[in-house]
């Protein structure tokens, strides 16, 4: 039986929960998250999205023709997302040129390496990253007004549908692969779960990149 995305979720429920359920998100929902914590997340996530854009571009290079339409549509959304991050940073008087914190740097290095993997591996990792954001923000919705825009961005029904299509494409890519590629895809999934958990924790600890804001 070929490896599937659902199989990965079924095999590693504890790791997936840790990737999508965290006090950072819970306190956003409660409206008790501190500005320094949220601002740490926002600045570091901007850096994350920059590298994620390069990962998305790498999928386009190696994807089957029938996968291109969805991937190209996703890249156009990422362009809007980068501009949106810049607007949010301006509103909060944040400096987006701040350096990457170690956790963010590790995640970006992982994505740079993932971009060099065979298409089935990076399609699986790409799907897992998008699903983690979708389920993380969606499962902690609704949020109070200050954070509703963020929850809606990744928790809305349209994004959920997009992620489901990414899952279908990843499943298609995972058919007829050898054991080595299957193991690498599984490893990529597990690495995403670990790094997502670590990223939330980095923001929750509200490191040095927390800046004045609201």
- Per-residue b/e over 143-163, b at no fewer than 16 CB within 10 Å? beeebeebbeebbeeebeebb
- Domains recognised in the chain with CATH numbers: 35-205 (1.20.910.10)
For 93-132, the pLDDT digits (tens) are 999 999 999 999 999 999 999 999 999 999 999 999 999 9
Record the pTM.
Answer: 0.94
Q: How many CB atoms lie within 10 A of CB 124?
A: 32
**In this predicted structure, what is the pLDDT of residue 212?**
32
Residues of the chain with pLDDT under 70: 207-214
């Amino acid at each position: 039986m070929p490896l599937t995305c659902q199989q990965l979720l079924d095999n590693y429920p504890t790791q997936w929960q840790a990737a999508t359920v965290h006090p950072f998100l819970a306190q956003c929902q409660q409206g008790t998250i501190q500005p320094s914590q949220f601002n740490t997340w926002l600045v570091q996530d901007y850096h994350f999205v920059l590298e994620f854009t390069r990962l998305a571009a790498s999928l386009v290079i190696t994807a089957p023709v029938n996968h291109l339409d969805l991937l190209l549509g996703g890249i156009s959304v990422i362009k809007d997302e980068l501009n949106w991050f810049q607007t949010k940073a301006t509103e909060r008087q944040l400096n987006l040129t701040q350096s990457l914190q170690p956790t963010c740097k590790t995640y970006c290095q992982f994505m740079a390496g993932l971009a060099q993997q065979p298409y089935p591996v990076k399609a699986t990792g790409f799907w897992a990253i998008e699903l983690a954001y979708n389920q993380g923000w969606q499962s902690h919705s609704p949020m109070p007004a200050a954070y509703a825009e963020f929850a809606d961005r990744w928790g809305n029904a349209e994004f959920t549908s997009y992620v489901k299509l990414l899952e279908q494409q990843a499943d298609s890519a995972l058919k007829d692969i050898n054991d080595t590629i299957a193991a690498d895809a599984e490893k990529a999934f597990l690495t995403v779960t670990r790094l997502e958990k670590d990223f939330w924790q980095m923001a929750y600890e509200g490191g040095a990149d927390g800046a004045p804001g609201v």
